[in-house]
Structure 1
Amino acid sequence: MKYIIILGDGMADEPLAELGGRTPLEYAEIPNMDRIAREGRCGMLRTVPEGFEPGSDVANLSILGYDPRTSYTGRGPLEAASMGIDLGDAEMAYRCNLVAIHSGVMEDFNAGHITSAEGAELLRDLDAALSDVRVYPGISYRNLMVVSGARGAVTTPPHDIVDQPIAEFLPRGDDSKILLDCMERSREVFAGHPVNRHRVQEGKTPATEIWPWSGGKKPSLAPFREKYGLAGGVISAVDLLSGIARLAGMEVIHVPGATGFTDTDYEAKARYAVDALDRLDFVYMHVEAPDEAGHMGSVEEKVRAIERLDEAIGVILDRPDTTVAVLPDHPTPIRCKTHTADPVPFAVLGKGRDDVSAFSEREAAEGSFGLLQAPELLSLLFSP
Structure 2
Amino acid sequence: MTRHQVDPRALSEGDLARHLLTVRGVQWMNGDRGAPLALLLRDHAVDRSAVHAGLRTGAPLRQTDLDVWVTGAHATAAAVLAEPGLTVRDARAARRRRRVYTLGAGATVKHVIAVDDTVFGLEAEEIARVAALVRPLVAGADPAAVGAGYRRLAAVPDGPFDLITDFARPGTAAALAALFGLPEDVRTRYAALVGDTVPVLDALLCPPTLAATRALTTAYDGIAEDVDRLVKDGDTPFGAGASAGDARAGYLLPLVAGAQLAVRLVHGTVTALLAEPGAWAAVHEDPALVPAAVDETLRHDPPLRIVSRIASADTEVAGLPVAAGDQIAVLLDAAGRDPAVFTEPDRFRPGRTDRAEPPALADPAFRLLTPLLRLLAYEAVTALAARTPRLAPAGPAVRPPRTPVTGAVVRCPVTTG
TM above 0.5: no
More helix by share: 2
Normalised by the length of structure 2, the TM-score is 0.28
Normalised by the length of structure 1, the TM-score is 0.30
